[in-house]
Homo-oligomer: A and B are copies of this chain.
Amino acid sequence: MNVIRCAQNPVIRAEDVKPSRPDFKVLGAFNAGVAKYEGETILLLRVAEAPVLDRPGEVLVPRLNEAGTEVIVERYEETDPRYDFTDSRFVAVDGQVIMLTSLSHLRVARSKDGVHFDIDPQPALFPENALEAWGIEDPRITQIGDTYYITYSSASIRGVGAGLAETKDFVTFKRHGLMLAPENKDVMLFPEKIDGKYYTLHRPVPKSFGAPEMWIAESPDLLHWGNHRFLMGLSEQGWDSGRMGGGAVPIRTERGWLVLYHGADAKHRYCMGAALLDLEDPGKVIARSTRPFMEPEADYEVNGFFGGVVFSCGALLIGDTVRMYYGAADEVMAVADIPLDDIFSTLS
């Protein structure tokens, strides 16, 4: 494999991002959607924040209030026996997650060279209703005409669903509510109609039986979705046998729709692989990576908020090279160039 990591990696770090309020700190700026707009490269960052801990021995939980109108910070004693604080990312009771200890929003960063970014001082999209009360995460951007559609994870006590928003200028945004009900993540719209229909990839997570696997659905208008079909599932063993989901927005190539997707094994090591879908019927998988084209190897990928993760939400095809933007270790943004043929070489 010929993965050329950018020498400037990580191109965006947590400390590069101004918190949304003075009593919050930025834990990570990662898993960004990517788009080209007026000659610039736009990243729509997931910015994860937590309240600054001002009293030792406490656990702070930031979220919207019940009405979904205002950020509140709840305080818990870390010795409180009613709660399980073992995993610092959430609070659990009886093995069930009941609160998160961070709150994510989406932030725009702009670059002329695709490597050096100016990061907006203010959020672009901030949680603003009860279904976003635990944060909005992991955006993907799909350009259709002069409109950019943004799909993102919308988290709350009701579960994680797929939010949809649109913008024409990355300044004003219009929300369209949840396009897919919980539990669903890793939703990415195809950039054009195929045989008169819009398509999206998605990754439902059923509870009673079934696994977190990739599905495809159709729409007449991008807002309403139906004819959900199973697309591809966990492998029997190997790099994508534990978890998987779509990554970058599908890219049209001569050989088919190229989907860069993430997979993890039982040890939660997140790698990137690829699938090729039929150009005329994207519900048909032509080929799939038997090995990842990229694994967490660089220091900023192996170590961080959640180490051992490379996770892309967007990539650009430049000539015969894929420029993949990706979150590393759930903390920073990085970029790598990978020849298309090298990605194809992992397929079978």
Known A-B contacts A213-B158, A220-B221; the reply to A208 vs B183 at CB < 8 A is yes
Partner of A204, one of B183, B218, B228: B183
Closest to A210 in B: B159
Interface string of A14-45 (1 = CB under 8 A from B): 00000000000000000000000000000000
A184 touches B181 (CB 8 A): yes
Q: Is A177 an interface residue (CB 8 A)?
A: yes
B224 touches A202 (CB 8 A): no
A binding-site residues for B, Cβ under 8 Å: 96-98, 130-131, 156-161, 164, 176-184, 202, 204-210, 213, 215, 217-221, 223-230, 233
Partner of A228, one of B97, B178, B219: B178
Complex CA gap A98/B206 in Å reads 13
Complex CA gap A122/B96 in Å reads 44
Complex CA gap A176/B217 in Å reads 12
Q: Which 9 residue pairs are nearest across A and B when measured between Cβ atoms?
A: A159-B210, A159-B206, A224-B224, A183-B206, A224-B226, A182-B206, A97-B209, A178-B228, A177-B227
**Using Cβ atoms and an 8 Å threshold, which residues of chain B touch A207?**
183, 205-207
Q: List 11 A-B contacts (CB under 8 A).
A: A158-B213, A159-B209, A160-B210, A177-B226, A180-B181, A181-B202, A181-B204, A182-B204, A183-B210, A220-B224, A224-B226
Partner of A178, one of B164, B205, B229: B229
**Using Cβ atoms and an 8 Å threshold, which residues of chain B touch A178?**
226-229
**Using Cβ atoms and an 8 Å threshold, which residues of chain B touch A130?**
230
Q: Would you give the shortest CB distance from A285 to chain B, in whole angstroms? A: 14
Known A-B contacts A206-B207, A207-B205, A209-B98; the reply to A228 vs B180 at CB < 8 A is yes
Closest to A233 in B: B158
Complex CA gap A205/B183 in Å reads 7
Partner of A223, one of B177, B181, B209, B227: B227
Partner of A161, one of B98, B158, B164, B228: B228
A220 touches B220 (CB 8 A): yes
Closest to A98 in B: B209
Closest to A183 in B: B206
Q: A96-B209, A205-B206, A220-B221 are in contact. List 4 more A-B contacts (CB 8 A).
A: A130-B230, A158-B233, A178-B226, A206-B207
Output the residue of A158, A177, A223 with the most chain B CB within 10 A. Answer: A158
Complex CA gap A150/B184 in Å reads 25
Partner of A224, one of B209, B213, B225: B225
**Using Cβ atoms and an 8 Å threshold, which residues of chain B touch A156?**
210
Output the residue of A157, A177, A180, A224 with the most chain B CB within 10 A. Answer: A224
Q: Would you give the shortest CB distance from A310 to chain B, in whole angstroms? A: 21
A157 touches B221 (CB 8 A): no
**Using Cβ atoms and an 8 Å threshold, which residues of chain B touch A96?**
209
Closest to A155 in B: B209
Closest to A216 in B: B181
A228 touches B183 (CB 8 A): no
Complex CA gap A204/B131 in Å reads 14
Complex CA gap A205/B184 in Å reads 11
Partner of A176, one of B210, B224, B226: B226
